[in-house]
């Protein structure tokens, strides 16, 4: 029999999140949908997931095999009957730990087959019967994974908060590090790249959250969230030279090349690998919706890094360095400059880009005015009321 922690880690089946996402992409992008469909249905049948089997077939318009569905439902009914008998028997004859275990088994059953609301209800009952801090956190982490599985942000955030509160009272560093990975994954979904990077890098030396994803995927997320968040010096220290990163970065195509070409100012190579990484991000459930933003930020970083070395440079020279056309670069820089993302100006007549250093004093004055104006207005209103 599995230990409780390992039993919980097996549910829900997180790989189904990615398989389901791939099925939503265009056929031109995903050419092996038949194989993916077979993988989904194989898991649903093996784990006797009658509710999930019904819902996934309905979502994608797959024909339901009535005989298969009947078999799954019968199996679920039989298993549920045994679980209810186990609860009844434990409540009549056993102690608190046996009663709790019976409720846990029923919780895991509902989670496994895809009955979200019933699983949450039973997990809450199990939680109320739990004394151990470690066991409480394991239950909360399972509910967080359910939040990821069912795309329920509120469920994720509520249980992340609860887990962190409980772990403050504990010296359980293994679970503390695992919850950082969960929080980093959640931040990545919300496009909070810097927060995600910090959570990931804080836990990279002791990564054990394999129930979410494997170590290669963890390094992939860590590098992408870091490269778009940290200045060049931090990137070198925290990522490029990190032995934990180096052990797996080569397993992700173009990832090492993107990271090092940016750091080494090899901008033509950088652009080539950025395009390849963009294509890969499209196939990732979490990253796909952020790929345009990511690539935009990466271009801003690269252009800004290049321009730091010059007071002025010709558009022609810069375009050649990046391996793009002058017209494309002109449009790119104009858009980023007008949006305040790059501190420079373009001399259209001379075809020259001139850098303009940000004046910290002016920025400070602007911030004071921004904060001060509303405050002055409130003081004036208060004065009128008092008068």
User: Could you read off the pLDDT of 58-103 as tens digits, one per residue?
Assistant: 999 999 999 999 999 999 999 999 999 999 999 999 899 999 999 9
Burial-class residue 34 by CB neighbours within 10 Å (0-12, 13-18, 19+): exposed
Q: Which residues contact 24 (CB under 8 A, 6 or more apart)?
A: none
What is the per-residue pLDDT for 5? 79
Q: How far is CA 308 from CA 150, 152, 354, 360, in A?
A: 45, 43, 10, 16
CA 91-93-94 angle, to 5 degrees, is 75
- Reply yes or no on whether the pLDDT at 329 is more than 80: yes
Burial-class residue 260 by CB neighbours within 10 Å (0-12, 13-18, 19+): middle
Neighbours of 20 (CB within 10 A): 17
155-179 tens-digit pLDDT: 999 999 999 999 998 889 999 999 9
What is the per-residue pLDDT for 360? 47
- Give the global pTM: 0.88
6-49 tens-digit pLDDT: 888 888 999 999 999 999 999 999 999 999 999 999 999 999 99
What is the per-residue pLDDT for 349? 86
Q: Which residues contact 201 (CB under 8 A, 6 or more apart)?
A: 222, 226, 238, 239, 242
């Amino acid at each position: 029999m599995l230990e409780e922690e390992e039993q919980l880690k097996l549910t829900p089946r997180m790989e189904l999140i990615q398989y389901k996402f791939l099925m939503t992409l265009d056929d031109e992008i995903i050419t092996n949908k038949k194989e993916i469909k077979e993988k989904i249905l194989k898991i649903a049948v093996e784990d006797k997931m009658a509710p999930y089997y019904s819902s996934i077939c309905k979502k994608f318009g797959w024909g339901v095999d009535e005989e298969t569905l009947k078999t799954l439902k019968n199996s679920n009914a039989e298993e549920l009957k045994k679980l209810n008998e186990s609860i009844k028997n434990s409540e009549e004859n056993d102690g608190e730990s046996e009663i709790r275990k019976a409720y846990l088994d029923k919780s895991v059953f509902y989670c496994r087959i895809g009955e979200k609301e019933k699983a949450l209800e039973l997990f809450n009952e199990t939680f109320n019967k739990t004394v151990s801090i470690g066991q409480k956190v394991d239950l909360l982490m399972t509910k967080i994974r359910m939040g990821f599985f069912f795309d329920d942000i509120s469920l994720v955030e509520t249980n992340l908060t609860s887990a962190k509160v409980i772990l403050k009272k504990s010296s359980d560093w293994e679970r503390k590090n695992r919850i950082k990975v969960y929080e980093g994954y959640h931040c990545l979904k919300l496009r909070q790249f810097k927060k995600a990077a910090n959570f990931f890098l804080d836990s990279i030396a002791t990564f054990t959250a394999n129930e979410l994803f494997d170590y290669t995927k963890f390094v992939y997320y860590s590098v992408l969230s870091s490269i778009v968040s940290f200045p060049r010096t931090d990137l070198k220290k925290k990522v490029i030279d990190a032995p934990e990163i180096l052990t797996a970065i080569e397993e992700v195509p173009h990832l090492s090349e993107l990271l090092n070409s940016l750091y080494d100012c090899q901008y033509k190579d950088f652009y080539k690998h950025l395009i390849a990484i963009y294509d890969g991000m499209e196939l990732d459930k979490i990253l796909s919706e952020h790929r345009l933003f990511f690539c935009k930020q990466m271009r801003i970083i690269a252009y800004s890094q290049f321009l730091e070395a010059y007071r002025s440079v010709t558009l022609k020279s810069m375009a050649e360095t990046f391996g793009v056309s002058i017209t494309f670069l002109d449009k790119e820089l104009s858009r980023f400059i007008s949006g305040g993302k790059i501190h420079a100006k373009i001399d259209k007549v001379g075809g020259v880009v001139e850098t303009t250093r940000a004046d910290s004093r002016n920025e400070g004055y602007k911030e004071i005015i921004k904060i001060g104006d509303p405050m002055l207005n409130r003081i004036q209103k208060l004065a009128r009321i008092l008068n």
